[in-house]
Structure formats: C-alpha cells, structure tokens
C-alpha cells in the first residue's frame, strides 16, 4: 500500500514535471526558476562553477558581471542586447557612453556560454538568462545574498546604442532624475535605494568621479582630498577608486559611507538628499537582513524588465552575434 501510493506519487510528479517542461519550450506564461530543470539540469551548476573560478581569479570580476545584467535590463529589457558586438547592422551598446571603456566581463560570458552549451549538448540557455544567473552567482561569490533567478528569457536580434545612452542612469544625476529613470523601468524608489547598494562592490574611474571630488559640496573633505591625490584635475582618467571601502565584499559599508558623505559618485550621495531615501539608506546601513532581502527582491524585479519570451527573439549560438 505504502509502495503503491509512493509509485503513484512519483508518476504524478513525473507527469507534472513533464508537463511543465513541455510548456517551457517555448514558455508562454513568463519566467520561471525551473525553466531549465528538465532541459538542462547541469546549466545552473555549470554557470556557478565558472563564475566562482572567475571571481577567485579576480574579485572585481564579480562586480563587473553584476553590472552587465543591470546595463542589459535597462536597455529595452533583459534580452542580452548588451552582449552584441558592432556590425553594419548592429548598433552595439558596447559603444554607448556608459559602457565604452567601462563595461567588462564579456570574455567570462563567452566562456560560460561555451561551457553551458557543451554540458547541455545544444544551445538551450539564452545569453540573457546567463547574465541574470551570473549576476546572482557573482553576488553570492562575494558574500552577498542569494535568490531564485526566474528564467526563460530569450535573446534580442537587435541592440540600441541610442537607448543605452538615454536609459542607463548617469553618475551626475541628482535624486529626482534617478527616481524618474528607475520609474521609467517600472522600478520604485525602494528599488533605486536597494539596487544602488550594488556599489558595495567594484570600482569607478577617475574620469567618472572627478567632478564630484572637485566640485560637490556634500562630500567629506578628507575623503575628497585623499581621492584627489590619485585623480588629478587633468589626466589619469582611468585611475580606479573603490565604490566603498570593501570593494570585494558584498556588505553594508556602501550605506555607512553615504551617511558620512563618502559616496564616490554624485548619484550615490544623491540618495542622502531626501528624507525618504536617507531613511532607507540608514536602515540598510545597520541591518544586513533588510538590505539583503530588499536587494534580492529588487534584483528579481529588475530581471523581470521586458523579457522576450515564447517565440520572441532567439537563443543565440554566440552571445556576441545574432544567429
């Protein structure tokens, strides 16, 4: 009897999993964390392994990979468009101001795509999904929170440098501009404050924060002076400074810094210019749990921006090129 009901349970489980697998090819309803469970169960562990190795080799790579997903999603949705190289017909986003000489990690994505296609036996995992999973695994590799990544995005056949220039937020934005920028993506003020916490990892270049350290008034004097020594008024454009004091650890130091006017970017410090955003930043500064929970939630929300699903787009064979 016990055996009978167990077999029945297994049969039902098999049927329901098969049904969900069939409905995920193509998955019409939207994204699902289980999208690759049956078509390629090795996909996610493979991605995690390559990300861990890349981060172990260079801690900054985790930050760079997280940023790629953000810059993908904010330009016509999370569709892998940022990965397309320039051609006469592809207006590559890699050449847009926020990405040119700044976005990095493309070789790691190439490596992941090659390994995933090899273990899956065929190209079933989209480049857009690879970016989403890689972002999560990077955060985890640097000690941050984990979350279930919803999957089933397909890849674009186009890119838009113009949209990348207009829709990726700029470091000189003030708070109303940032709020409006996120709002146009369907994201709320809370998402802005939580996702800006991504700047707990990684670096920025002198040319990006120069204006802030010489011209802003809401900056800690000693902090600005110290940065000026490695970022002169002219030259040394590519010199790096960390976005918070612990750039290889996903922690709450970013928010602590904002409270002492040590945000590296004008857009970071902008979060302290209004009571509502300052209140959130304050609570994240001492409450890991709240930051981690909200960051994970907001990453899922960002990952849901306008995905291509069902028969839309394609699964690229090479993330850099349209099939």
Residues that bind ligand HEM in the complex, under the rule CB under 6 A: 60, 63-64, 66-67, 70, 102, 104, 169-171, 173, 178, 192, 195-196, 198-199, 201-205, 208, 243, 265, 267
Residue 239 Cβ, how far from ligand HEM at the closest point, in Å? 10
Q: Which of 69, 71, 199, 266 is catalytic?
A: 71
Separation in Å, CA 46 to CA 57, 119, 134, 178, 296: 17, 8, 11, 36, 22
Helix (H) or strand (E) run with residue 240 in it: strand 240-242
71 tagged catalytic: yes
Separation in Å, CA 321 to CA 51, 88, 213: 22, 12, 40
Q: Which residue is nearest to ligand HEM (CB)?
A: 202
Which CB sits closer to ligand HEM, 103 or 116? 103
Q: What is the rounded end-to-end Cα distance, in angstroms, of the chain?
A: 54
**What is d(CA 13, CA 7) in angstroms, rounded to the nearest whole number?**
10
**What is d(CA 67, CA 309) in angstroms, rounded to the nearest whole number?**
23
Identify which of 101, 67, 141 has the alpha carbon closest to the alpha carbon of residue 240. Answer: 101
Residue 59 Cβ, how far from ligand HEM at the closest point, in Å? 10
Which CB sits closer to ligand HEM, 156 or 298? 298
DSSP class of residue 86 equals P
Which CB sits closer to ligand HEM, 91 or 191? 191
Residue 263 Cβ, how far from ligand HEM at the closest point, in Å? 11
Residue 159 Cβ, how far from ligand HEM at the closest point, in Å? 19
Which CB sits closer to ligand HEM, 109 or 192? 192
Would you please indicate which residues are annotated as catalytic (active-site) residues? 71
């Amino acid at each position: 009897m016990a055996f009978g009901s167990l077999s029945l349970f297994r049969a039902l489980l098999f049927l329901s999993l098969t049904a969900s697998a069939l409905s995920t090819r193509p998955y019409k309803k939207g994204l699902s964390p289980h999208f690759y469970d049956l078509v390629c169960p090795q996909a996610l562990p493979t991605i995690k392994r390559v990300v861990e190795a890349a981060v172990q080799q260079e801690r900054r790579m985790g930050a760079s990979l997280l940023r790629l997903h953000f810059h993908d999603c904010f330009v016509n949705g999370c569709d892998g468009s940022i990965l397309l190289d320039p051609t006469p017909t592809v207006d590559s986003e890699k050449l847009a101001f926020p990405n040119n000489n700044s976005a990095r990690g493309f070789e790691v994505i190439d490596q992941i795509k090659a390994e995933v296609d090899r273990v899956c036996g065929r190209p079933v995992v989209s480049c857009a999904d690879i970016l989403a999973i890689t972002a999560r695994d990077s955060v985890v590799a640097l000690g941050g929170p984990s979350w279930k990544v919803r999957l089933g995005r397909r890849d674009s056949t186009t890119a838009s440098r113009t949209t990348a220039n207009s829709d990726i937020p700029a470091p000189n934005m003030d708070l109303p501009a940032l709020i409006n920028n996120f709002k146009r993506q369907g994201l709320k003020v809370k998402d802005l404050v939580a996702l800006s916490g991504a700047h707990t990892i990684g670096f920025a270049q002198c040319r990006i924060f120069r204006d802030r350290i010489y011209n802003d008034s809401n900056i800690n004097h000693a902090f600005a002076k110290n940065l000026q020594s490695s970022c002169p008024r002219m030259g040394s454009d590519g010199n790096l400074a960390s976005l918070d004091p612990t750039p290889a650890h996903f922690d709450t130091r970013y928010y602590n810094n904002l409270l002492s006017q040590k945000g590296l970017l004008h857009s970071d410090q902008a979060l302290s210019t209004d009571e509502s955003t300052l209140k959130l930043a304050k609570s994240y500064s001492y409450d890991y749990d709240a930051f981690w929970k909200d960051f994970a939630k907001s990453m899922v929300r960002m990952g849901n921006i306008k995905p291509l699903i069902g028969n839309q787009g394609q699964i690229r064979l090479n993330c850099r090129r349209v099939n």
